[in-house]
A and B are shown apart, each in its own frame.
Chain A
Amino acid sequence: MKGCNNKVSVRVCQLLVLSFVVCQLLFNLGACSSINCPVQTTVLTKYEIRNAAGLDTLNDTLYVWTQRMDENDTLLNRVTGSSSFTLPISYSHPEDTLVFLLADTAGLWTLDTLWLKKDDIPHFESVDCAAHFFHRITDVRCTHRGIDSVVIANPKVDYDQERTHLYIYFGGIRH
């Protein structure tokens, strides 16, 4: 009887160890196959064109530049007839400097500089997903030749492509 009990114990032990190994395999395989990185990982600032009455449309043509390492400085080229536009935001500069050129059909143009101050927040999804930065806009200021003013609408800049971050009012002094 005692021998029988020992045999049962050995069987139980074998069964448990086998189930442990199976569990290890199942869970480890499961872990390998479930990488859930976001599909949309572009982080952009959205500018909405406004006037005193609300949403406005850009009748002139807009160009935006910045200073980049490769000297290919254009961020936005010939935008017209639009109520909003998006611009990239630097990963780790405390302040981005953007140059806005607004040209009308008569050949008149204005040149403004916009400074966007922000906090850069490392955003992490998983070790399997690429590194990105989110941002919190802390201040925005500009010259006022073609731009009347710029207002922060939503300071948080992340993967959300629909959120408007800045309201821009054109209509300043022209040269």
Chain B
Amino acid sequence: MIRKGLICISILAAFAISTRTSAQGFLKWEADSVPLFRGFAVGFDLAGAAQQMLGDYGQLEGSLRLNLHNQYFPIVELGIGKANHEMDQVTGITYRTKAPYFRIGADVNLMKKKHTGNRIFAGLRYGFTSYKIDMDRQPFPDPVWLWDVSFGVKDEPCSQHWAELLLGIDAKVAGPLHLGWSVRYRRRLAHNDGVTEKTWYVPGYGIQGSTVLGYTFNMLIDI
């Protein structure tokens, strides 16, 4: 997992350096007559929805993005994460959670020509979720005393703060419709995992761990 994170950071750094040289500074404001406020875009993450449909966990997530000069994109992402892993075939453990989460941050357009409608961007996010987990297992024998034991927690309160570093693309497909994806390196900042000391799926973050890689596939509409 650490190796994945390092690869992601290396790619981002290499990309930032190459862009700096080619675009003569991607943070530099492009001098032109385009106004500062360029409107909003609302988006929906198709990857999280597909994950939820195809697997045991996923999230339904929408976003509201502000466009400043086609260069800076402050963004709020809101979603509901859900996991329903019923009776694992090997361990017999059932894990359920469903909770809202949010992320707030901004993207920067790294393209030299910023007004084409197609963008390559890097961004940062801060995310938070407060969630409750239900976890149980069918009674199983104590390995020494041999009588049956129940295992589980119900409505155990947990929470997590995290940060994300992302790299993505966004292409204008037709009219106000954009499609794009982002790869995200997520790092846990603080967490409360309740009495069990660990959880599994964390809404908006993914499978628990101090760092994880995630991705989104966004459909955005300019408004």
Q: Which residues of A contact B (CB under 8 A)?
A: 6, 9, 12-13, 16-17, 19-20, 23-24, 27-28, 30-31, 34, 66, 68-70, 75, 88, 90-93, 121-131, 133-134
Contacts and interface: CB of A to CB of B under 8 A. Distances in A.
Q: How large is the interface on B (under 10, 10 to 19, 20 to 34, 35 or more residues)?
A: 35 or more
Given A13-B179, A23-B181, 8 more contacts: A12-B173, A16-B217, A28-B54, A30-B213, A68-B144, A123-B197, A126-B200, A126-B207
A126 B214 CA distance: 18
A127 B91 contact: yes
B145 A68 contact: yes
A122 B152 contact: yes
Nearest to B196: A124
Contact of A20 (B92, B118, B217): B217
Interface of B: 1, 46-47, 50-51, 54-55, 85, 88, 90-93, 95, 118, 135, 137, 140, 142-147, 149-153, 169, 171-174, 179-181, 183, 195-200, 207-208, 213-215, 217
Nearest to B207: A31
B18 to A, nearest CB: 20
Contacts of A20: 46-47, 181, 217
Given A23-B47, A34-B1, A129 B91 contact: yes
Given A20-B46, A122-B195, A122-B196, A90 B215 contact: no
Contacts of A9: 172-174
B181 A19 contact: yes
A90 B179 contact: no
